[in-house]
Amino acid sequence: MEERVFETRIGSKLHYFKRGNGPIMIVSPPAWGLSSKYLQEGLAPLEQTFTLVYLEFRGNGKSTRPDASEMTCWHLADDIEYLRQELQMERVPYLLGHSGGGTIALWYAIRYPDKVDRLVLLNHRLDGFDDGDSLKNSIIEKKRDPKMHAPLRAWTSSWDDLSDEKFAQKIRLFLPVYFFNPDASVQSKELNSIQTVPLWNYQLLHGNERKVQHQEQELGKVAAKTFMIFCQADPVCTPTQGNATQKGIVGSKLVIYEQCGHFPWIEKGEETFRDIIEFCAL
């Protein structure tokens, strides 16, 4: 595995990992502090078909922390462009984003439509989209399972004024909520071993200090061939967001997995890798 830190044209530094064989697929993780390591663990089977380049966005890993005004998903899309330039590619052949990382990848496809060929979005969040009713219904459904009761209490408690270590503890406690089968949450060693997560990142991207930006009306700018996977039991990025995205991107494809949560490669691994590889081969 290759690990590098490079300097962008504006003087900031970005960190990435490169591993695998075949054409390059840039992997866009959430930027709120998880780092790309859980995706390095989970997406490893794709490295047999692609060379995966896992980017650590500004404020993550060894990448430079920016001014707070430039810590939005819209701004973070520039980091993908800096990486494209660093890799000396005319276009990004494959760009994959998960969750909030999918939000950033989608902004990249909107802002740089001539720089990406194929876009793969896994349970992405559509920036500025009101998904309140679907989120509420998902939580009501999860409350039916007694195994979800303790994790849900962590989910609904306040995160304000937590240390980075306490914030990481909260994430570990409510991890089962992300899954259809709460017992499946133990399958990711990376997610279960998180020790510190920068609350600064989270508050700017998803919390009280977030600057709301709206992607829905911008989706017509996407020129990349687009494939989306959503999961029926995902409580944070519900299929409603996938339906709205598909409606806005002409020719895009959406599949929805039943009995699966926020991490499809864990609960529906065979289907996830098959569908991604088949789409990329079209």
pLDDT for 69-97, tens place per residue?
A: 999 999 999 999 999 999 999 999 999 99
User: Does some domain include residue 136?
Assistant: no
User: Does some domain include residue 10?
Assistant: yes
User: Does some domain include residue 182?
Assistant: no
User: Does some domain include residue 198?
Assistant: no
Q: 239-248 and 132-142 are packed helices; what angle lies between their axes, rounded to 10 degrees?
A: 150
* CATH number, domain with residue 31: 3.40.50.1820
User: Does some domain include residue 248?
Assistant: yes
Distance CA 102, CA 99 (A): 5
Do residues 50 and 80 make contact, with C-beta atoms less than 8 angstroms apart? no
Distance CA 62, CA 209 (A): 23
- C-alpha radius of gyration, the chain, whole number: 18
Instruction: Write the DSSP string, 207-264.
Output: STT------GGGGGG--SEEEEEEETT-SSS-HHHHHHHHHHSTT-EEEEESS--S-H
User: How many domains are contained in the chain?
Assistant: 1
Q: What would the mean pLDDT of 204-227 be, rounded to a whole number?
A: 92
Do residues 177 and 38 make contact, with C-beta atoms less than 8 angstroms apart? no
User: Does some domain include residue 200?
Assistant: no
The tally of CA atoms less than 13 A away on the side-chain side of residue 278 is 9
User: Does some domain include residue 70?
Assistant: yes
Question: What's the domain range around 228?
Answer: 2-131+209-281
User: Does some domain include residue 203?
Assistant: no
pLDDT for 134-183, tens place per residue?
A: 988 998 999 999 999 999 988 766 777 889 999 999 999 999 999 999 99
Tokens of 124: 């992405």
